[in-house]
Structure 1
Amino acid sequence: MKLGLELEYWVVDDSGALVGADELLDIHEAVVPELIDPMIEIQLPPADGLTELRQNLITILETVLARASDLDKHLVPLATPLTEHQFPITSDRGKLLQRIYGDEIKYAKNCAGTHIHFDKGSVVDQLNLLTALDPAIALVSSSPYYDGVLMGMDARALSYRTHSTELLTRYRDLWPYAKTTEEWDERLAQMYETLKLQAEQLDIPEVEFTHFIQQEDVVLTPVRLREETPTVEWRAPDVALPSQILQFVSDISMLMSLTEEKSVNIGTPGIRLEEIGIPPFGELRAITATAMNDGLSERVCQYLAAMRFDINQYEPLAEEIAGEYRLSVADARKIRLEYANRLREDVETLLY
């Protein structure tokens, strides 16, 4: 199974303040801009397994971090900027989305995540298993703060999925299990037409809408089907330290490989001889809510253990960072620099 990986990072200066990332964009073809200036995305090429993926990630991060050091800049592996920021959107696609979403675009632009791509196999089983693994976000949650307020153990997921109108929530939140790929495609087509109608009501020309938004990327949900890649994409996890992400990808890819030989069935959660059991969707939503708010609670740990995760392999950054209800700008800058240093140390450790 080929694996793809995309990682989003904040860029800060020596004071810990968020700054523009333009000077980092030409250092490697894998580095691309994001919706706002202080964030970059590293897009790894498809890899034939974990060993190649690991080597690609280390090589690219080494290159980017060396250039950042020359510029007195740093990469921060945290899911939110911690405190409130009003950075303008820079991309044309982003500006179009802002016209459609309005102020609620901030919940998308102020979040840094991890996107994992898997080769298509038994697609419905893959979609449903990734949906059922949603509570695993607690293993790599990396920011409890959003706009300077302690939200929960996964502030990115909470703000991204729940802080919007009912209409827009459908474009960002977890979808129910799929019965067929045709059903999934029909859902996607309906979402596309709904957003297109919304754009028409805002006097956005159809040619402009269709140029920047295609049906397959109209939603920003945790699980997506990609036709052009072609892959099943999982967008649920936060960005975190590279070693944490690699451990996470290892565990998730092992589970995904089981869909080649086991069916995925709704019932009692767990990995059994001939099936992978996943909970009813309502029960799953409740476990995910606990994961977002409380992190690795007893309920979440019991569920993840049933899905064969070794909880002891993970130390979420959000648990280290969580403190007072409100976070000052000065403290946020210190935290960013601390985890920028942790990122460099982590990459150096991975070299040996």
Structure 2
Amino acid sequence: MDQSISLNKFISDTGYCSRREADKLITSGRVLLNNRPAALGNRYKPGDTVEVDGSLITAAKKDKCVYLALNKPPGITTTTELHIKDNIISFVNYPKRIFPIGRLDKDSEGLIFLTNDGDIINKILRAANNHEKEYIVKVDKAIDTAFLDQMSKGVPILDTRTLPCKVQMMGRQTFRITLTQGLNRQIRRMCEYLGYEVVGLQRVRIMNVKLDKLPLGKWRHLTETELANLKESIADSSKVSNKPAGGERYAAQKPAQPGKGKPAGERKQPAKGKPASEGKQFAKGKPASEGKQFGKGKPASERKGKPTTERNQPAKGKSKPATTGKRPEKQTSKRGRR
């Protein structure tokens, strides 16, 4: 059995970088496979040696999957770009290469996952609409039941309408909200639409994992139970999706536009069995007598040659409709031949 895998997948599985980044490393000549420059399409098999920028990466040194829960403080940016000040990777300073799952606004705080397991990252992001994320939010003025009702039913932002959600009052200016959606700065935009400004936002739960008493700025490993439940909840999530991750917009929530969204059968040609007058061949307004459906069976009045001698047969041209374009005086001269 062939146990080889694509070289870019092998590099990605080690947690070194993503597959796309691995392809860039390969094309730029920074990867060696068995001491030879690697090329796109190369495959790795057990026993091969792989070097990236002179550092050896082999199956024996493949990182064990790491799953962290961080209580991100405000001011930390959720990015893997190390040149950006206060990026989350430098803040955590974990000894192995890890990536955040999703994002949390720079001004927000609370729970966020980091891992080197590319498969679970993709599955969680692709299944974002099916999983809950819970937040505690403080706004700049007192809230009322009308505010809670509007937030829970959905608010128009970013050319769409937010999905219905759970909202619960916790104090005069504080509420708890549970989303199954991940639009860019969603909660802040929802509050702004209703005339409020968010002055504090904390994520306290992602699916089955809770922030609990984890101190601000600290991280911990997910427990075996948390990880098992997490993987079970995303078991049916595809690794591949056409939807953009994170701040995607949900086209299904947009108001229907005329002419769009109709079943295919209503957009195409008329169904079989409709009158010939509705057929495609009459698009230019030709009369039925000149349509293609008559083929070889044209009326006698349109056939070439001498008039027929059969009894009661109309003279040539008598039954032609006026829409054929021939002038009445020609028809009159033909009638004069009888």
Instruction: Tell me the TM-score normalised to structure 1 length.
Output: 0.25
Query: Greater helix percent: which structure?
Result: 1
Bigger radius of gyration? 2
